[in-house]
Structure 1
Amino acid sequence: MHITEILFKRPRCRLPLGPHEIKVTPFKELLPLRLQNSVSSKSEKGADVSCLQEMAVMFACMKNNDFKEVKCSQEIETFNKCHLEHTASKKLAKQKEESGEIVTGTNSRNLTSKQLNQLLAKYPQFNEKL
């Protein structure tokens, strides 16, 4: 028994297809292979979860101390600080979005649909009807 028959799991009577005899499947273009000039804003709203770790630590401390806030003042302060930082960053992001500033670099993956539409308007696609 040949090693190729073992690898390709083909019966001995047929010749196995070698790596140079690959069957080519023709490509069928179902949709045009180009970008649209706009994106939809259907999935803009998502679950905004912040300070989850701090909240879990705070509730664990409160549970261990019979929900007495005096004994968990450090954890409550940490949670409040995290919440204030989050609201400030959300306010800053909203101001940048309203001003039309497009953020590039590390936060470029978090572009809103409005910012993406502004970028696509700067570089429109040539849509030729065939």
Structure 2
Amino acid sequence: MQSGYVIQDKVARLVSKQLGKPVLKPNKSLVLKDKVANSKTKKGEASCVTEMALMMACWKQNDFNTKLCSNELTVFYRCIKKAQEQAREWAKQQTISQEGRLLPKQATKLLKRYPNM
């Protein structure tokens, strides 16, 4: 992997007019923005889909009567609660380990603290 100075040197040579016409002609300044797009690093799969399907099938069979489908509703809500707890636990593990990467909020915070000159 090349260091930042080597890359900057190559870009400077490509943009300079020493060799005649510049190879690169940037339409914007070659600096980082002071914020990072807030995107999720990894999308998970949908949870509780089967429980939701069973609940909706019960509603359809019973003309959307909630009292007759109380068992399916409790199973669905229990599944949702369990999935939310797992998501919170996963988020805690990600913030602890981070695997050498910054979260978008952390990167934005650092870029705002040290903006481009």
Bigger helix share: 2
TM-score (norm 2): 0.48
TM-score (norm 1): 0.44
| More RCO (CA 8 Å, sep 6+) | 2
